[in-house]
Structure 1
């Protein structure tokens, strides 16, 4: 029975770019697993039997040189929603399908988005450091944050994750503005009491918190730069849970130093991690987490389940549930 399972290429088990043991066990129920480093020991021998290429945390990198070693490949199943790390037209030209895992990451990502917003606004990290510092003998009264309840949240990108963020922000009685390529239905807007801003500039000028929840495309690369930051309130906070390349980081550093905006809270940067001497790392008004938006056991398990469904469908010649089809 084991020999009948299709072969799948993965990054590694454990390690910096690998799968948790529990997740590997899920994959092994359906596939024979080969780690990238083992594959490279003898690609001529192993290449022809690989039918599935699993990508986790962007690894293995789907380089043309590697893909050409996989003549039997049927699908690249990537964990997560973003496909900016994949050359889909080239991969399709090889007769290989591409699939991602939408609809399973939005809740966890929306949770981290609100966590970043709250932590930045209320100076939670700074408060923690003071509370646990062995030198602390008196608690300062000067650690003043920004009121979240009743403030205005501007969401750039009102897809599934952006909408989940809007749902959560209602609990804080926030005024919700949003900018999106396509306007949501009146029913959707009313459900979260969101107001559509046809102009991104309008949203930036009016928001106390600007939340970026777009996918990375050529159109969104560098979406927030010097001009856009200059339109924001000096008391505003920029929160980015999309991709680091959406924000011009040099412009962000300048805006934070100049007081053009109050603060930034980022789950994503470019590159990841940032160079250890990058100015963002030493700024007291910047909060950075290491791209952990989907890092919950429940969400990671659902991602692997979706990857498995996509891979099995491709191997069996069935429609791939989450196949990426470029418009």
Structure 2
């Protein structure tokens, strides 16, 4: 394929959330009517079209495709995280990489709020008594006046905090650079004493952080012992942020009131894993990220970055103004 035939935006074939990738390509076309947008729907098309493409978007970029991408300048990753990409090779080639940070804010924010309300009003107890056709009252909780700690104040963490505002809760944010502040009543770092103090005051602990050397195993046995027995863990980050064995022990010993887990370690969770058996554990199969608006929000980001790429004189200029 000649350079003249190269599309302005090349969309790779892998979709996400069970939604056809054609919808993503169409959403980009609607936002960039003056650009050519091509969808490589087969492996052969991907190999052929990526040879001359300068701006490519997709969920993944396999090494053999990158090897064929002689003219590639920008890879617009369609996920918020980029750790699965060959980042070293992309850097060596001078390829700018963008992500979809912020695309999950509304849906995961709603998922977290739903999980908090689920445990506040103890809907799982009500559902169990409904299944038994048992009309018997049970005690519930009230969210107002609670303390919610959000670990990670990126786009998702901020979306969670925004949705908590009307509920009259106190909020604590945990981030790498607490001096930057955030949308919470308090902002702390990952220092042991500050974090332990926050855990001791927390009613709902929301994990919305990336998996790093600092956060791997962050919520371990000592953390669970420090938390109040009436506290609830909500993990929409990554499974290994929580020590799974410690979580099972905490649930068995009533060190915490319950847990809402959208991610687990291991993942998928094996059928015989003890976490399945707890009535005070809500498990969703890494589903918080699903939304029918995903491709629309993603296309907004990618289209704007393509416009900025058009206006830049070099990849370095583009990197200085890239969204989000």
What's the TM-score, normalizing by structure 2?
0.80
CA distance, structure 1, for counterparts of residue 172 and residue 9 of structure 2: 47
| Residue 52 (structure 1) shift | 4.1
Assess, with a 3 A threshold, how the Cα gap between structure 1 residues 98 and 17 changes in structure 2: closer, same or farther.
farther
With CA pairs under 8 Å and 6+ residues apart, which has the higher RCO, 1 or 2? 1
Q: Is 1:295–2:290 an aligned residue pair?
A: yes
What do the CA deviations read for 1:106-130 (whole angstroms, capped 9, x no partner)?
2332222111111133232453464
SS of 1:5 mapped into structure 2? coil
Q: Is 1:138–2:137 an aligned residue pair?
A: no
Aligned to 1:32: 38
- Are the aligned partners of 1:102 and 1:322 in contact in 2 as well (CA < 8 Å)? no
Aligned to 1:156: 151
Aligned to 1:248: 243
Q: Is 1:280–2:278 an aligned residue pair?
A: no
Aligned equivalent of 1:10, options 1, 12, 29: 12
Aligned equivalent of 1:55, options 41, 50, 58: 58
Assess, with a 3 A threshold, how the Cα gap between structure 1 residues 65 and 282 changes in structure 2: closer, same or farther.
farther
SS of 1:297 mapped into structure 2? coil
CA distance, structure 2, for counterparts of residue 16 and residue 174 of structure 1: 33
Matches for 1:29-178 after TM superposition, within 5 Å: 30-35=36-41, 38-39=42-43, 41=44, 45-56=48-59, 60=60, 62-128=61-127, 130-131=129-130, 133=131, 136-142=132-138, 144-178=139-173
Answer with 44-53 or 99-108: which moved more.
Answer: 44-53
What do the CA deviations read for 1:269-315 (whole angstroms, capped 9, x no partner)?
34543233332223211112233334333454112221233356547
| Residue 152 (structure 1) shift | 1.4
- Are the aligned partners of 2:17 and 2:290 in contact in 1 as well (CA < 8 Å)? no
CA distance, structure 1, for counterparts of residue 86 and residue 216 of structure 2: 16
- Are the aligned partners of 1:100 and 1:322 in contact in 2 as well (CA < 8 Å)? no
Aligned equivalent of 1:195, options 186, 208, 220: 186
| Residue 156 (structure 1) shift | 1.6
| Residue 244 (structure 1) shift | 2.0
Answer with 308-317 or 239-248: which moved more.
Answer: 308-317
Alignment gaps of 5+ in structure 2: 31-35
Aligned to 1:267: 262
- Are the aligned partners of 1:73 and 1:96 in contact in 2 as well (CA < 8 Å)? yes
How many residues are treated as equivalent by the alignment? 307
What's the TM-score, normalizing by structure 1?
0.79
- Are the aligned partners of 2:205 and 2:231 in contact in 1 as well (CA < 8 Å)? yes
Assess, with a 3 A threshold, how the Cα gap between structure 1 residues 229 and 102 changes in structure 2: closer, same or farther.
same
